Structure 1
């Protein structure tokens, strides 16, 4: 099989604004920028560069409606610190019906796209990576 994922496309009412949130959240770089499309890629030379799919924010005329059918799961070193940082960037807590006992936090970006901040890996899990 020769297929690889090039990018994840994110519909955006304001691609520049939404990309700015994700650029700051992930520490990624803009590699393409027009009024209708913005592409983010991992930092040049990082372990994710050329491996992780790009994020393409593409202008659409309508606002987001309903729950995402696809979302990002982010693995932090410190979940609570990252949640606080992401909220300071404009993320908000989201309720998608998750049980209160889950180990992740559901947030929404400035346009309402849900994503999850998972618990950190345990030392045992890190040893197997």
Structure 2
């Protein structure tokens, strides 16, 4: 616990009793839940399916397959909707960094394990990781 690191003495039973009283106190003060409990369960299931190593050492190929499929769909949509290409100055070195660096930092912020991309080897894609790799794939 942190209290051991900062050398503060705390009675564990008192802390645990306080935790039990915390939720009723917050509700009494007007706090409201941001999401129903069922969404917590769904988030937990999704996280489990994204993190449990079902794809093992093939996880990167699994993400690459999703990126190629997404690129194929995006190419078809751009062609079908006749979307004009981005201007050259927007893709050049100094300007593209103003967009790519904040987007990469945002994706990195949502990684759970450490600095760098997470190693989520589950069967469902981990959204921050998929977004992170999409930035480099594009």
TM-score range, shorter chain: under 0.3
Q: TM-score, normalised by structure 2?
A: 0.24
Greater share of strand residues, 1 or 2? 1
Rg larger in structure: 2
Greater share of helix residues, 1 or 2? 2
**Larger RCO of the pair (alpha carbons < 8 Å, separation 6+):** 2
Q: TM-score, normalised by structure 1?
A: 0.25
